[in-house]
């Protein structure tokens, strides 16, 4: 099936999730709709020296090994199992694109350094710390012989991975792509956000007048993207369509977003243009919604200008924290579920509206809502912006 | 895969043999001069970002002498095996040694693994997409394939494609004798891509570029051959080829023999240097220089492979 310009249409046929709320799409979705909060005390590394000690940590795994690889593989396996696609039929047409901040191996390196009292380096550690190694290991595990790439675009990495995977299919380079993100909590990243004073001392409260910052999380999510005609021919269940994607750079500051929202607005406009939709055709936005004063003010103003104050816009970071490179991939999965079940998750811990954030953030309770088009926003450090538009398959 | 016009390039870094004042080749002294000229902005910055920025400035200044003439939407795609991970590890060591509270605050701005792209987008006002790709020695070709695809999608007017890796103890450890690369070293290369219809003076053309993956060591050679056949389909026999891969290869990989590429061009690097992210874009520059030689023309081939499984390639054409 071809869309305008001769490009092939791209559908979602499988989803996989691991978050601090648990493993498995249906379990996590149920908890998100229930407004359950995964925030707890930081336990992954010694935390006495930190002013703020809060995080959303995934449950410990029984087997040893690199945690981010374990959870990424779990999420990918779930997505492939749901999809039912058989990549062995044409492995050279099956690829994988992973979005990440590069935590692979770093958590384990930190742990061994703390245990040994010194942080040495050898070839094995260097290989483990190379950001692309995780995708390579996943590719071997799942037999991906097409395009296999790791994209690092700060907190927008997951959306970038989805957009790149979609482009591979649309251009005819691939028929099936695993696209997603994975990151785990590291002392390095935690200290980075902590020393920039970006962390909330309590909960993450996106768009609330008294919000004070983000809560770091961790997790993994994958979507199976396929060329629509092939997916239909093999009888796959079509969960959603990836209608459009747009990305931009603020070119403004290494950590603070452009307060005017111009860069984020360009990504959003480009995504809608690519989807051949206008703002009035969108029913739900999964916000970047980190709970920081700067991001939420910028994003709230942008969404208010673009969609008006009554569009349902929630941030699941209020429940699972900011999962860094995995965040927008997890949120894309949530958009697909919203399309499937015609309901949207809440933004919890919301008590008082901020006049500078004129959005309907679905405060505290999930909401049944007819959703045909959802937008997933991701606005990362360094001014990396990406928006993806997902739509119902019918 | 559609074509892209190459309208500028630059290369530099400590592991490259100095090419003197040849156009587009930056000596280590030239990179240092750039850092000194912008020392206020670069004061706390990692060397990878400095090298990338020096190369980008060289390309942009020759293509658009004034910043006002540059297009509004320029993307920056960087291929780097390790990105800024060396600095990330250094940051952790500071935390480990002195505790989180005593880490120098300015280090926090330099910690991101993708800081090369973030910094350059701010420094040069690149408002298109910025992405860093990590695919070992094929990282640069991954960025090139992504850049061609981005132009074809009509999302931007120009794309800066860079391949950069810098010295760090990760890179040095990765390149220990007996390991896949010995020793891995510092180099960078940048290509400026525009649409063929842009009317800009051409340095050459990217006719096709792609990457894929071999799930087994034994299958990598066959995968590289398959990729190369696909890239060259319907095209004339390449006049020459650049290959980058693990260890010193005494004979041409089967892919080059199958392609009938009669020459095997060398990257002007110091002996034993394996160039990781920079390898692919540097290979493109070497091919383009050869194709520009009067009476040459035709097409050239760049192929690259990494021990972890990535393979990549590009076919380049002379400016018409």
Interval A297-303 mean pLDDT: 96
Out of B85, B89, B118, name the one closest to residue A254 (CB).
B118
- Inter-chain contact B89–A119, Cβ cutoff 8 Å? yes
Chain B residues with CB under 8 Å of A102 CB are 83, 85, 88, 113-114, 134
Q: What's the token pair of residue A128?
A: 């483990």
Catalytic residue among A56, A144, A155, A343: A155
Chain B residues with CB under 8 Å of A378 CB are none
Q: How far apart are CA B146 and CA B209, in angstroms?
A: 9
* Closest residue in chain B to residue A192, using alpha carbons only: B108
Q: How far apart are CA B98 and CA A146, in angstroms?
A: 45
Long-range CB pairs of B253-257 (<8 Å, 24+ gap) are: B253/B221, B253/B224, B253/B225, B253/B303, B253/B305, B254/B221, B254/B224, B254/B225, B255/B221, B255/B224, B255/B225, B255/B227, B255/B228, B255/B303, B256/B228, B256/B301, B256/B303
Please confirm, yes or no, whether A322 is among the known catalytic residues. yes
Cα B274 → chain centroid: 13
Residue with tokens 């850049």: B147
Q: How far apart are CA A107 and CA A128, in angstroms?
A: 11
Other CB atoms within a 10 A radius of the CB of residue B27 amount to 17
* Closest residue in chain B to residue A263, using alpha carbons only: B127
Q: Which residues between 247 and 276 in chain A have a beta carbon less than 8 angstroms from any beta carbon of chain B?
A: 247-255, 263, 266, 270
Question: How much of chain A is in helix, strand and coil states, percent to nearest 5?
Answer: 40, 25, 40
Strands A312-314 and A216-217: unpaired
Interval A216-239 mean pLDDT: 97
pLDDT digits (tens, 9 = 90+) for B214-226: 999 888 889 999 9
Choose between A5 and A304: higher pLDDT: A304
Helices (H), A256-292: 262-275
Interval A311-329 mean pLDDT: 98
Choose between B72 and A319: higher pLDDT: A319
- Inter-chain contact B99–A131, Cβ cutoff 8 Å? no
Measure A175 CA to nearest chain B CA, in Å. 14
Other CB atoms within a 10 A radius of the CB of residue A279 amount to 17
pLDDT value for A114: 92
Please confirm, yes or no, whether A155 is among the known catalytic residues. yes
pLDDT value for B250: 47
- Inter-chain contact A150–B92, Cβ cutoff 8 Å? no
Task: Give A252's contacts (C-beta < 8 A, 6+ positions apart).
Answer: A258, A263, A383, B122
Out of A145, A191, A251, name the one closest to residue B213 (CB).
A145
* Phi (first) and psi of residue B26, to 5 degrees: -100, 125
Q: How far apart are CA A99 and CA A118, in angstroms?
A: 30
How would you write chain B as a 3-class SS string?
CCCEEEEEEEEECCCECCCCCCCCEECHHHHHHHHHHCHHHHCCCCHHHHHHHHHHHHHHHHHCCCHHHCCCCEEEEEECCCCCHHHHHHHHHHHHHHCHHHCCHHHHHHCCCCHHHHHHHHHHCCCCCEEEECECECHHHHHHHHHHHHHHCCCCCEEEEEEEECCCHHHHHHCCCCCCCCCECCEEEEEEEECHHHCCCCCEEEEEEEEEECCCHHHHHHHHHHHHHHHHCCCCCCCEEEEECCCCCCCCCHHHHHHCCCCEECCCECCCCECHHHHHHHHHHHHHHHHHCCCCCCEEEEEEECCCCEEEEEEEECCC
Which strands, in side-by-side order, build the sheet including A40-41? A40-41, A54-56, A216-217
pLDDT value for A6: 61
pLDDT value for B292: 83
Is the pLDDT at B264 greater than 60? The verdict is yes
Task: Answer for the pair A186, A131: CB distance below 8 angstroms, yes or no.
Answer: no
Catalytic residue among A288, A335, A343, A357: A288
Q: Which of A393, A361, A353 is nearest to A377 (CA)?
A: A361
Chain A residues with CB under 8 Å of B112 CB are 101, 154, 254, 381-382
Task: Answer for the pair B128, A248: CB distance below 8 angstroms, yes or no.
Answer: yes
Is the pLDDT at B248 greater than 50? The verdict is no
Chain B residues with CB under 8 Å of A383 CB are 118, 121-122
Q: Which residues between 132 and 151 in chain A have a beta carbon less than 8 angstroms from any beta carbon of chain B?
A: 132-133, 135-136, 139-140, 143-151
* Closest residue in chain A to residue B134, using alpha carbons only: A132
Q: What is the dihedral sign for C-alpha B85, B89, B94, B95? A: positive
Q: At what angle do helices A293-307 and A262-275 cross, to 10 degrees?
A: 40
Interval A40-61 mean pLDDT: 94
- Inter-chain contact A139–B146, Cβ cutoff 8 Å? no
Q: How far apart are CA A329 and CA A240, in angstroms?
A: 14
Out of A50, A101, A171, name the one closest to residue B113 (CB).
A101
Determine the 3-state secondary structure of A173 from DSSP: coil
- Inter-chain contact B309–A381, Cβ cutoff 8 Å? no
Chain A residues with CB under 8 Å of B124 CB are 251
Whether A127 contacts chain B with CB within 8 A: yes
Among the ranges given (A100-104, B75-79, B98-102), the one the predictor scored with the smallest mean pLDDT: B98-102
How would you write A230-254 as a 3-class SS string?
HHHHCCCCCCEEEEEEEEEECCCCC
Preferred mutation among A95, A188, A197, A245 to probe B, highest tally of B CBs within 10 A: A188
For the ranges A322-326, B99-103, B168-172, the maximum mean pLDDT occurs at A322-326
**Mean pLDDT of all residues belonging to chain B:** 87
- Inter-chain contact A123–B179, Cβ cutoff 8 Å? yes
- Inter-chain contact B135–A381, Cβ cutoff 8 Å? no
Residue with tokens 């156009």: B23
Say which DSSP state A58 is in.
Answer: P
Determine the 3-state secondary structure of A37 from DSSP: coil
Q: What's the token pair of residue A211?
A: 């919000």
Among the ranges given (A37-46, A383-392, B131-140, B198-207), the one the predictor scored with the smallest mean pLDDT: B198-207
Chain A residues with CB under 8 Å of B226 CB are 92
Cα–Cα–Cα angle for B292, B294, B58, nearest 5°? 30
Preferred mutation among A45, A46, A131, A198 to probe B, highest tally of B CBs within 10 A: A131
Binned at pLDDT 50, 70 and 90, residue B21 comes out as: low
Chain A residues with CB under 8 Å of B169 CB are 121
Binned at pLDDT 50, 70 and 90, residue B182 comes out as: low
Chain A residues with CB under 8 Å of B132 CB are 151-153
Preferred mutation among A251, A268, A381 to probe B, highest tally of B CBs within 10 A: A251
Q: How far apart are CA B113 and CA A325, in angstroms?
A: 12
Out of A119, A150, A160, name the one closest to residue B134 (CB).
A150
Chain A residues with CB under 8 Å of B172 CB are 121
pLDDT value for A157: 98
Measure A42 CA to nearest chain B CA, in Å. 15
Q: Using omega within 30 degrees of 0 as the cis cutoff, is the peptide bond preceding B183 cis?
A: yes
Please report, for residues A175, A334, A340, B144, the alpha-carbon distance to residue A237 in angstroms, rounded to integers and kept in the order given.
16, 17, 11, 35
Among the ranges given (A84-98, A162-176, B173-187, B298-312), the one the predictor scored with the smallest mean pLDDT: B173-187
Is the pLDDT at A2 greater than 60? The verdict is no
- Inter-chain contact B130–A384, Cβ cutoff 8 Å? yes
ipTM of the complex in this document? 0.97
Q: How far apart are CA A358 and CA A300, in angstroms?
A: 6
pLDDT value for B108: 67
Binned at pLDDT 50, 70 and 90, residue A118 comes out as: confident
Determine the 3-state secondary structure of A194 from DSSP: helix
Q: What is the dihedral sign for C-alpha A66, A70, A76, A80? A: positive
Catalytic residue among A322, A323, A335, A357: A322
Choose between B42 and A248: higher pLDDT: A248
Out of A152, A381, A386, name the one closest to residue B134 (CB).
A152
Q: Which of B145, B120, B114 is nearest to B51 (CA)?
A: B120
- Inter-chain contact B122–A126, Cβ cutoff 8 Å? no
* Closest residue in chain A to residue B177, using alpha carbons only: A123
Say which DSSP state A8 is in.
Answer: B
Percent of chain A with pLDDT over 90: 89
Chain A residues with CB under 8 Å of B155 CB are 246-247, 270
- Inter-chain contact B226–A92, Cβ cutoff 8 Å? yes
How would you write A324-374 as a 3-class SS string?
HHHHHHHHHHHHHHHHHHCEECCECCCCCECCCCCCECCECCCEECCCCEE
pLDDT digits (tens, 9 = 90+) for A154-193: 999 999 999 999 999 999 999 999 999 999 999 999 999 9
Q: What is the dihedral sign for C-alpha A26, A32, A37, A40? A: positive
């Amino acid at each position: 099936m071809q869309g305008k310009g001769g490009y092939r249409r791209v559908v979602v046929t499988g989803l996989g999730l691991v978050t601090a709320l648990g493993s498995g799409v249906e379990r996590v979705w149920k908890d998100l709709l229930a407004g359950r909060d995964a925030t707890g005390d930081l336990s992954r590394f010694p935390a006495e020296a930190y002013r703020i000690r809060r995080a959303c940590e995934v449950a410990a795994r029984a087997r040893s090994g690199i945690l981010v690889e374990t959870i990424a593989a779990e999420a990918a396996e779930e997505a492939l199992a749901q999809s039912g696609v058989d990549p062995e039929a044409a492995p050279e047409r099956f690829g994988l694109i992973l979005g990440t901040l590069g935590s692979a191996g770093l958590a384990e390196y930190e742990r061994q350094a703390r245990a040994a009292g010194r942080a040495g380096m050898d070839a094995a550690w260097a290989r483990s710390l190379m950001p692309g190694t995780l995708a390579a290991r996943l590719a071997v595990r799942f037999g991906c012989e097409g395009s296999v790439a790791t994209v690092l675009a700060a907190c927008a990495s997951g959306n970038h991975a989805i957009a790149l995977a979609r482009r591979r299919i649309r251009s005819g380079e691939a028929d099936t792509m695993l696209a997603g993100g994975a990151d785990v909590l590291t002392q390095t990243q935690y200290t980075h956000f902590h020393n920039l004073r970006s962390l909330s001392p309590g909960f993450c409260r996106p768009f609330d007048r008294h919000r004070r910052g983000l809560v770091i999380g961790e997790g993994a999510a994958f979507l199976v993207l396929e060329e629509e005609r092939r997916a239909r021919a093999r009888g796959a269940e079509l969960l959603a369509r990836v209608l459009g994607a747009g990305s931009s750079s603020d070119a403004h500051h290494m950590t603070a977003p452009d307060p005017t929202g111009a860069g984020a607005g360009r990504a959003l406009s480009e995504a809608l243009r690519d989807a051949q939709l206008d703002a009035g055709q969108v029913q739900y936005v999964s916000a970047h919604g980190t709970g920081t004063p700067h991001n939420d003010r910028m994003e709230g103003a942008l969404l208010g200008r673009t969609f008006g104050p009554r569009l349902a816009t929630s941030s699941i970071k209020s429940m699972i924290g900011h999962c860094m490179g995995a965040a927008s991939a997890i949120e894309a999965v949530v958009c697909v579920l919203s399309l499937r079940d015609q309901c949207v998750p809440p933004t919890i811990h919301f008590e008082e509206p901020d006049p500078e954030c004129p959005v309907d953030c679905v405060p505290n309770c999930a909401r049944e809502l007819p959703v045909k088009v959802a937008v997933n926003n991701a606005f990362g450090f360094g001014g990396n912006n990406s928006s993806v538009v997902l739509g119902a398959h019918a | 895969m559609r074509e892209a016009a190459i309208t500028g390039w630059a290369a530099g870094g400590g592991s490259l043999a100095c090419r003197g004042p040849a156009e587009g080749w930056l000596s280590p002294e030239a990179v240092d001069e750039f850092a000194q000229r912008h020392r206020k902005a670069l004061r706390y910055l990692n060397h990878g970002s400095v090298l990338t920025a020096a190369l980008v400035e060289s390309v942009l200044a020759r293509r658009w002498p004034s910043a006002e003439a540059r297009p509004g939407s320029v993307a920056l795609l960087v291929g780097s095996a390790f990105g800024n991970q060396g600095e990330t590890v250094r940051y952790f060591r500071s935390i480990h040694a002195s505790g989180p509270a005593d880490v120098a605050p300015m280090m926090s701005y330099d910690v991101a693994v993708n800081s090369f792209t973030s910094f350059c987008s701010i420094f040069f006002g690149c408002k298109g997409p910025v992405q860093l790709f990590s695919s070992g020695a094929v990282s640069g070709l991954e960025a090139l394939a992504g850049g061609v695809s981005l132009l074809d999608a009509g999302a931007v007017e120009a794309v800066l494609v860079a391949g950069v890796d810098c010295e760090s103890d990760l890179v040095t450890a990765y390149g220990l004798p007996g390991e896949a690369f010995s020793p891995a070293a510092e180099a960078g290369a940048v290509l400026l891509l525009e649409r063929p219809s842009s009317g800009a003076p051409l340095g050459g053309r990217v006719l096709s570029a792609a990457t894929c993956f071999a799930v087994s060591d034994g299958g990598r050679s066959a995968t590289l051959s398959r990729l190369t056949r696909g890239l060259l389909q319907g095209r004339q026999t390449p006049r020459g080829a650049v290959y980058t891969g693990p260890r010193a290869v005494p004979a041409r990989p089967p892919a080059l023999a199958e392609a009938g590429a009669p020459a095997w061009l060398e990257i002007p690097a110091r002996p034993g240097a394996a160039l990781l992210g920079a390898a692919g874009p540097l290979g493109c520059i070497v091919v383009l220089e050869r194709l520009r030689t009067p009476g040459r023309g035709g097409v050239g081939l760049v192929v690259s492979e990494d021990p972890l499984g990535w393979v990549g390639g590009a076919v380049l054409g002379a400016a018409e």
